[in-house]
Amino acid sequence: MTTAHTSPALRAALAAKHGSLRSSVLRELRERFVRGMFILCTVFSIGTTLAIIATLAWETTHFFALPEVTLADFLLGTTWSPLLGAEKHFGIWPLVCGTFLVAGVGALFALPVGLIAAVYLSEYAPKRIRATVKPVLEVLAGVPTVVYGFFALTAITPALQWMCTLVFGVPIFPGYNATGAGLAVGIMILPIVCSLSEDALQSVPRSLREGGYALGGNRFDVSVRIVVPAALSGIMASFFLAITRAVGETMIVALAAGGLAHLTLNPANETQTMTAYMVQIFLGDAPAFGVENLSSYAVAAVLFVITLGLTVAGNILLKLFQEEYE
Amino acid sequence: MSGTLRNQAVRTLQNRAFLALCLVCTSLSVLLVAVLLVTIVTQGSARLFNQAAVDAVFSHGELGHIPELIRWSVLTNFASRRPDDAGLCAPLLGSVWVCLTCMVFALPLGVGTAVYLEEFATRTRFSRFVELNVRNLAGVPSIVYGIIGLTAFSRMFGLFGNPDGTPIQIGDPDSALSLRLPFGPSVLAGGLTLMLVVLPIIIIASQEALRAVPKSLRQASEALGATRWQTTRLVTIPAAVSSILTGAILALSRAIGEAAPLLVLGIPVFIANTPSGPMSNFTVLPFQIFNWASRPQVAFQELAATAIIVLLAVLLTLNALVIYLRHRLHHAL
């Protein structure tokens, strides 16, 4: 209580009497120590990136040093058969193709639906609906992906088969297929697209909308012709983030897409993605330093380059199309 | 004149059609959540709840049967080849151990990095590079982190180990505090791997939390003669603590749901003991779900659904905690 009422000047004078020199040196030391600790933390985050790049590069060179693998075959080959047959082939294209097939099905579903839902929530919906749907989306974004994989396997694929039997008389879709997995991936990225696009639409200043209405536009004109273009950078960023997540998604495709790598763009086929191949290798008893094990590092390196490329491209687009409003 | 009238009609129609499309898309999203939940609950509830007790409580009002509503054996048994005996004991405790280990490492590192970037660093090329780097790390697929975890923590680049290939043992192997090099598929290796996954989330959330603290608070503190660290410790962090905690809980729920990076470490499919220390073997809930869901038998699919209900219940509890914290934050500032 007494210190609280002491005047600051008096306290400073008291401090000057009682060894303030030592305390200021100590304080300086402590300040430097703390700063150093924080720099160490920061360096760790850069170290993680370096560790990723170094590990993948190192093991990938080991992979290409093996006699049965060549870089040309890996980059240009159209057969991926590391586990079957007398002659092993390591051509990455079937896996890349499977990855983009599944991600494409997901994006085809989630990007338009997510964006339109975002436009509705931001421009049309009454406050009450927005206040209910937004938290639901956030909860949905936190659902573990293995749950969506289970959903694809036990609900989406059977539903697809049932519908095709109803229409065409044959189920068409096998138990594991790219469409079932792709739709589950779409459901997984839907909340990302919707939530982030909605944020982007909300950050468009009110004056732009009012200008649109003043010129005689109706709600459709204002939201689709003015607000969406104005928020385009944020919307594109949400799209890129969602596609990156879809490309790197593992548990859904491991459960529902099957395990057969072949070069196909038919979404009714069984397919294998890069991530699902890694799961197959690490779940099996592949020896720690065999060719199969090393091949997963090469696949991981390709996956890392693709996702990093998508992230960087998204950031560049965000900067390029960003509109500044006062 | 007639032209603009028709034009007006077309535009009104356009507006109505778009609104209809909007409603379809939004209700489709909400409907999907409902179908997802119904699918899981219908498949999983039979093994989680005790039908006789449910009838007794809800039809006859016998409240004494409330503790028997849940078939506790599902939570306390170990995994089994017979679906009726199988339970979630090992994955539940494994998830707790691994996620706690993860947070013990990730929270100080993540918050430390954020504090450095926001409070100490000047806007140099270095700090901008670090920020870009963190944002790029957030986009790396979790299975790639799994491969790094396998190489760096589980195998330790092949640098350690006895000549015969067995790991080096430090301390009594039966004690909880012993250490083994390399770590192998242990709780410590799993926690460190998950730390890599959630670190960008914690850093970005903490940065935003610190950025939201008004400049005037810091200026007032520094005007009183406080050093940068004193200001951070006594003023900035206390003001940002609920937002930082919110970010940490979101990171924790991400860690609880991750199966891919741990699967890469080679954690066991079947395990009949719970972890007793950082070097114990473990399995986690999402991996157990993956394992059960990938089996053809219907009984195991039902078990997977039961495990999903338990997992979602844990995550919903954490989400409720986030909402509570946000509410408190609202009052504080």
Distance (Å) from the alpha carbon of B321 to chain A's nearest alpha carbon: 13
What confidence score (pLDDT) does residue B276 get? 85
According to DSSP, the β-strands at A89-90 and B168-170 are unpaired
Give a yes or no: residue A70 inside a domain: no
Mapping DSSP onto H, E and C, the string for chain A reads CHHHHCCHHHHHHHHHHCCHHHHHHHHHHHHHHHHHHHHHHHHHHHHHHHHHHHHHHHHHHHHHHCCCCCHHHHHHCCCEECCCCCCCEECCHHHHHHHHHHHHHHHHHHHHHHHHHHHHHHHHCCHHHHHHHHHHHHHHHCCCHHHHHHHHHHHHHHHHHHHHHHHHCCCCCCCCCHHHHHHHHHHHHHHHHHHHHHHHHHCCCHHHHHHHHHCCCCHHHHHHHHHHHHCHHHHHHHHHHHHHHHHHCCHHHHHHCCCCCCCCCCCCCCCCCHHHHHHHHHHCCCCCCCHHHHHHHHHHHHHHHHHHHHHHHHHHHHHHHCCCCC
Interface contact A55, partner B, CB < 8 A:
yes
> E strand or H helix at B126, and its extent?
helix B125-137
Boundary of a domain, candidates A65, A87, A112 = A65
Buried b (16+ CB within 10 A) or exposed e, B262-272: bbbbbbeeebe
Q: In Å, how far are A84, A211, A249, B295, B296 from B143, measured between CA atoms?
A: 24, 48, 8, 22, 25
Which of B109, B136, B264 is closest, CB to CB, to A311? B136
Give a yes or no: residue A71 inside a domain: no
What confidence score (pLDDT) does residue B86 get? 81
CA distance B199 to A271: 32
Residue B215 makes CB contacts below 8 A (sequence gap 6+) with none
Tell me, yes or no, whether A129 and A204 share the same domain: yes
What confidence score (pLDDT) does residue A11 get? 57
Q: Which residues of B touch A249 (CB under 8 A)?
A: 141
What confidence score (pLDDT) does residue A20 get? 56
Cβ–Cβ gap B259/A251 under 8 Å: yes
What is the arithmetic mean of pLDDT over B37-51? 87
Per the model's pLDDT, the better-predicted residue between B214 and B156 turns out to be: B214
Instruction: Yes or no: say if B40 and B309 are a contact pair by the CB < 8 Å rule.
Output: yes
Tell me, yes or no, whether A214 and A264 share the same domain: yes
From its phi and psi, is residue A325 left (phi > 0), alpha (psi between -120 and 50) or beta? beta
CA distance A290 to A63: 9
Interface contact A147, partner B, CB < 8 A:
yes
Distance (Å) from the alpha carbon of A78 to chain B's nearest alpha carbon: 24
Give a yes or no: residue A326 inside a domain: no
Nearest CA in chain B to A218: B15
Boundary of a domain, candidates A45, A65, A85 = A65
Q: What is the CATH number of the domain that holds A192?
A: 1.10.3720.10
B5, B29, B321, best to mutate vs chain A, most A CBs in 10 Å? B29
pLDDT at B189 over 90: yes
Peptide bond into B268 cis (omega under 30): no
With tokens 């989306």, the residue in question is: A137
Interface contact A278, partner B, CB < 8 A:
yes
Interface contact A210, partner B, CB < 8 A:
no
Tell me, yes or no, whether A158 and A282 share the same domain: yes
Which residues of chain A from 14 to 53 reach within 8 Å of chain B, CB to CB?
Answer: 27, 30-31, 34-35, 37-42, 44-46, 48-49, 51-52
Tell me, yes or no, whether A155 and A261 share the same domain: yes
Cβ–Cβ gap B263/A153 under 8 Å: no
Find the distance separating the first CA and the last CA of chain A, reported in whole Å. Answer: 48
Candidate from A166-175, B40-49, B160-169 with smallest mean pLDDT: B160-169
Dump pLDDT digits (tens) for B103-122: 999 999 999 999 999 988 88
Q: Which residues of B touch A146 (CB under 8 A)?
A: 257, 259, 286, 289-290, 293, 308
Total domains, chain A: 2
Q: Which residues of B touch A140 (CB under 8 A)?
A: 33
pLDDT category of residue B93 using cuts at 50, 70 and 90 = very high
Q: How confident is the prediction for chain B on average, in pLDDT?
A: 87
Instruction: Yes or no: say if B310 and A272 are a contact pair by the CB < 8 Å rule.
Output: no
pLDDT category of residue B3 using cuts at 50, 70 and 90 = low
Q: Which residues of A touch B260 (CB under 8 A)?
A: 250-251, 254, 275, 279
Q: In Å, how far are A295, B144, B224, B255 from A308, measured between CA atoms?
A: 20, 12, 46, 22
| DSSP conformational letter for B173 | T
Q: In Å, how far are A147, A197, A303, B44, B315 from B309, measured between CA atoms?
A: 10, 30, 32, 7, 10
Look at residue B281 and give its three-state secondary structure: strand
Cα angle A306, A310, A312 (rounded to 5 degrees) comes to: 115
pLDDT at B178 over 90: no
What confidence score (pLDDT) does residue B325 get? 79
What confidence score (pLDDT) does residue A267 get? 85
Tell me, yes or no, whether A270 and A172 share the same domain: yes
B127, B148, B317, best to mutate vs chain A, most A CBs in 10 Å? B148
Instruction: Yes or no: say if B136 and A311 are a contact pair by the CB < 8 Å rule.
Output: yes
Q: What are phi and psi of A127, to 5 degrees?
A: -55, -35
pLDDT at B55 over 60: yes
CA distance A238 to A141: 13
CA distance A45 to B75: 38
Look at residue B169 and give its three-state secondary structure: strand
Instruction: Yes or no: say if B134 and B110 are a contact pair by the CB < 8 Å rule.
Output: no
Look at residue B182 and give its three-state secondary structure: coil
Find the distance separating the first CA and the last CA of chain B, reported in whole Å. Answer: 57
Q: Which residues of A touch B144 (CB under 8 A)?
A: 52, 56, 248, 300, 303-304, 307
Q: Which residues of A touch B140 (CB under 8 A)?
A: 52, 248, 304, 307-308
What confidence score (pLDDT) does residue A2 get? 38
Which of A148, A288, A303 is closest, CB to CB, to B141? A303
Q: Which residues of B touch A308 (CB under 8 A)?
A: 136, 139-140
Which residues of chain B from 135 to 154 reach within 8 Å of chain A, CB to CB?
Answer: 135-148, 150-152
Tell me, yes or no, whether A56 and A80 share the same domain: no
CA distance A244 to A247: 5
With tokens 């049309």, the residue in question is: A124
Distance (Å) from the alpha carbon of B102 to chain A's nearest alpha carbon: 15
Rounded to an integer, what is the distance from CA B145 to the centroid of its chain? 15
For every one of its 326 residues, what pLDDT tens digit does chain A have, with 9 covering 90 and above? 334 444 555 455 445 545 556 677 888 888 899 989 998 988 888 888 888 999 999 989 988 888 888 888 888 888 887 776 667 788 889 999 999 999 999 999 999 999 999 999 999 999 898 888 888 887 788 899 999 999 999 999 999 999 999 988 888 888 889 999 999 999 999 999 999 999 999 999 999 999 999 998 889 999 999 999 999 988 999 999 999 999 999 999 999 988 888 888 888 888 889 999 999 888 876 666 678 888 899 999 999 999 999 999 888 888 887 766 65
Cβ–Cβ gap B113/A41 under 8 Å: yes
Cβ–Cβ gap B259/A255 under 8 Å: no
What confidence score (pLDDT) does residue A325 get? 66
Tell me, yes or no, whether A127 and A203 share the same domain: yes
| DSSP conformational letter for B172 | -
Most distant pair of Cα atoms in chain B: their distance: 94
Tell me, yes or no, whether A200 and A299 share the same domain: yes
A120, A121, A139, best to mutate vs chain B, most B CBs in 10 Å? A120
Beta-strand runs (E) in chain B: 168-170, 179-181
Exposure of A67 in the CB half-sphere (CA atoms within 13 A): 1
CA distance A135 to B11: 33
Residue A57 makes CB contacts below 8 A (sequence gap 6+) with A301
Q: Which residues of B touch A311 (CB under 8 A)?
A: 135-136, 138-139
Which residues of chain B from 216 to 245 reach within 8 Å of chain A, CB to CB?
Answer: 224, 227-229
Residues β-bridged to residue B186: B281
What confidence score (pLDDT) does residue A246 get? 95
What confidence score (pLDDT) does residue A288 get? 65
B17 burial level (CB within 10 Å; 0-12, 13-18, 19+):
exposed
Q: Which residues of B touch A31 (CB under 8 A)?
A: 227-229
Tell me, yes or no, whether A54 and A93 share the same domain: no
Q: How many residues does chain A have?
A: 326
pLDDT at B305 over 90: yes
With tokens 């489709």, the residue in question is: B28
Give a yes or no: residue A88 inside a domain: yes
Cβ–Cβ gap B264/A187 under 8 Å: no
Q: What is the dihedral sign for C-alpha B143, B144, B150, B152?
A: negative
Tell me, yes or no, whether A154 and A274 share the same domain: yes
Q: Which residues of A touch B139 (CB under 8 A)?
A: 241, 244, 248, 307-308, 310-311
Tell me, yes or no, whether A125 and A259 share the same domain: yes
Tell me, yes or no, whether A26 and A121 share the same domain: no
Buried b (16+ CB within 10 A) or exposed e, B61-90: eeeebeeebebeebeebbbeeebeebbbbb
How many Cβ pairs closer than 8 A exist between chain A and B?
239
Interface contact A141, partner B, CB < 8 A:
no
Cβ–Cβ gap A282/B266 under 8 Å: yes
Cβ–Cβ gap B116/A55 under 8 Å: no
| DSSP conformational letter for B160 | S
Which residues of chain B from 48 to 107 reach within 8 Å of chain A, CB to CB?
Answer: none
Boundary of a domain, candidates A19, A38, A65 = A65
Nearest CA in chain A to B15: A220
Residue in A243, A225, A259, A147 with CA at minimum distance from that of residue B288: A147
With tokens 């009012």, the residue in question is: A210
What is the arithmetic mean of pLDDT over B17-44? 90
Nearest CA in chain B to A312: B136
- On whether ipTM exceeds 0.85, the answer is yes
Look up the domain containing A42 and give its range. Answer: 2-65
> For the CA atoms of chain A, what is the radius of gyration?
27
